[in-house]
Amino acid sequence: MLFSSSLLEGNVVLDVAACLRENFKGNTPLHVAAEVGNFGIVELLYDHLSDERPMPWRVQNSKGDTPLHVALTHDNVKIARFLLEKDSDLALIVNNSNEAPLHLAIKQHVNYSESESIMAKVKNPINEGGADLTIESAPQENMSSMIELLVEKASKVTCWPDANGLTPLHRVASLITPYNILFTVFILDRCPQSAEVCDNSGKSIIHLLINKITNYPDAKNLLNIEEIYALRNYQDNQGNTPLHIAAQNVDSVMVRVLLESSAKLNINNADGISAACIIQQQDMLQILRKRQLTIGEIEAVDTANVTFLTERMRTLGIEKKNLLSKDTEGRNILHRLMRIRKESHVNPEDFVNFIELALEIFPSLISQADKNGDTPIHILVRNSPNTRIYVASRVEDNKQYNHSDEGTGDSDRLPYGCVVLTLKESNILSLCLKKCNESILRIEDEAKHKGHCFDSPWLVQNVEGNTPLHESLKSDENIKLVELLLNYNKESISVTNKDNETPLHLFATRIVGK
């Protein structure tokens, strides 16, 4: 950097022409610095050339890219932000592919999102021979904030199609959830008219989001946006409405939301086929008849708010069968409730009582499998007994239960009137498993008296072929649940999964003495 400063600031005489000279790719030194991420050189070049006209940072290379385009393409967000803040009109320059910097930022975000998804999985500890392996990645500048800045600087660009007919709003549809939803809302808030632009095939943003949003609440909120709602019956070049596309792709979430938003069933496409006809052909009616969990119910389940759920059940009434509702992953209320999140606020007694009440009303809940083949019992036994939860209690109980926080300062941050318990200390997992067993015994007894067959939930295998006993043995910490499972059903000890492993194979990997 000392050499660079000397070169540019007087020790070596260098004319402006040398700083602007292009290489065989049409790149100036500023392009090159933006590509390799050399922020110091970019800053020095800018300071040295800031009085030149035409502006050197607006020079386009053989691809029509400015240094801002180049910086975004190579994920050098710090440089991109620096250039944009120096000259906001850079956001309006398009390259030879009719791409403005915003197009490229979103394209780069697609790659970043995919990498982020992979790294999220890889970062989890990998057990190899008893050793925990983790991978650390270097912190990155946030491309999301760059996209927001580009939209703020030049919102009209969101209406500009590139050489492939895609606007930045169209490209946002290719992002993974939740980014596709967040940026759609952000762009429409700044430039509502961008929703009116279609791609080369006549598809609107809502057409392009089909099969991209699997969460019912997210899809519902999207259709509540005025500009999106107005497109619900819009036909593409083939005459297909969003409902046609959703039905063709068996996207039950969007079909449901579109129908709830008064999308028309009887509009024919260019082939004379209506969405109603496709829905029937795809045999989606049975799926659509099933009630789905509402946003409030999902939030209540995920936060273990059994008070809300109990009141909800009383309000709707048993005849409404709200407990049989499922989310888009096929999970019923017990599936979601059995996954107890770290630092949830839980009243153990109320929690267990709600599980008991739900199983008394609808015993079949315990046998239902989600898209992964998991029953609520599979989910329950995956919980780590060391997961910490907040339990409302008397102040003096803090001294008894918060001993593990001594010296950490964690106890100072406790919600008022709460103590910290592990799931093991609260005994929730064992109590819930016992309630499941009591329900299963009642179902077995009833089936026996009626002469019906009954497939025991203890023996249900998920997509990996694992029974609940298999799942409980994946951790060294669930020994009490393992003992209960063996006590409730001894047949599961001989069941093999898709790796041809019995529970004994998994038990053999446990650390001796645990």
Mean pLDDT to the nearest integer, 75-98:
96
* pLDDT of residue 251 exceeding 80: yes
The pLDDT of residue 289: 53
Q: Is the pLDDT of residue 122 over 50?
A: no
pLDDT given for residue 285 in this prediction? 62
Please give the CATH architecture assigned to the domain spanning 295-507.
Answer: Alpha Horseshoe (1.25)
pLDDT for 393: 60
* Least confident residue range of 251-255, 308-312, 388-392, 490-494: 308-312
Report d(CA 241, CA 233) in Å as an integer. 5
For residue 356, give Cα distances in angstroms to 217, 380, 436, 439. Answer: 28, 14, 8, 8
- The string of DSSP letters for 203-242 reads --HHHHTTTT---HHHHHHHHTSHHHHTTTT---TTS--H
Least confident of 46-50, 68-72, 397-401, 410-414: 397-401
256 versus 122: the higher-pLDDT residue is 256
Higher pLDDT, 312 or 164: 164
Confidence category of residue 149, pLDDT binned at 50, 70, 90: very high
Superfamily assignment of 2-92 in CATH?
Ankyrin repeat-containing domain (1.25.40.20)
Rounded to two decimals, the pTM is 0.55
Predicted pLDDT of residue 327: 72
How far apart CA 372 and CA 466 sit, in angstroms, is 11
In Å, how far are 45, 100, 268, 409 from 60, measured between CA atoms?
16, 12, 47, 55
Question: Confidence class of residue 370 from pLDDT cuts 50, 70 and 90?
Answer: confident
Tokens coding 84? 């944009």
Q: What is the pLDDT of residue 166?
A: 96
The percentage of residues in the chain with a pLDDT greater than 90, rounded to a whole number, is: 45
pLDDT at 128 over 90: no
> Which one-letter amino acid corresponds to residue 415?
P
Residues in a beta bridge with 326: 292, 332
| Beta bridge pairs of residue 131 | 128
Above 70 in pLDDT, residue 304?
Answer: no
**Residue 157's closest CA among 89, 221, 205?**
89
Give the length of the chain. Answer: 514
* 8 Å CB contact between 34 and 73: no
List the structure tokens of 48.
């040295």
pLDDT single digits (tens) 456-482: 999 999 999 999 999 998 876 778 899
Q: For CATH 1.25.40.20, list the domain ranges present in the chain.
A: 2-92, 154-288, 295-507
For the chain, what percentages of helix, strand and coil (3-state, to nearest 5) are there? 55, 5, 40
Average the pLDDT over 230-250 and give the result.
Answer: 95
pLDDT one-digit tens code per residue, 137-148: 333 458 899 999
Ramachandran region, residue 438 (left: φ > 0; alpha: ψ -120 to 50; beta: rest) = alpha
CA distances (Å), origin 506, targets 374, 494, 499, 503: 18, 12, 11, 5
What span, in angstroms and rounded, lies between the C-alpha atoms of 63 and 50? 24
* pLDDT at 140 (0 to 100): 44
pLDDT score at 200? 95
Identify the three-state secondary structure at position 191: coil
- The C-alpha atoms of residue 165 and residue 458 are separated, in whole angstroms, by 54
pLDDT band at residue 403 using 50, 70 and 90 as cut-offs = very low
Q: Give per-residue pLDDT as tens, 314-368.
A: 555 444 445 556 777 778 888 988 988 888 888 888 889 888 888 887 788 898 8
Query: CA-to-CA distance for 162 and 170, rounded, in angstroms?
Result: 10
Q: What is the mean pLDDT of residues 2-12?
A: 51
**Percent of the chain scoring above 70 in pLDDT:** 76
Is it the case that residue 134 has pLDDT exceeding 80? no
- The band of 244, judged by pLDDT with boundaries at 50, 70 and 90, is very high
Class of CATH domain 154-288:
mainly alpha
Residue 16 has pLDDT above 60, yes or no: yes
pLDDT digits (tens, 9 = 90+) for 225-237: 999 999 999 999 9
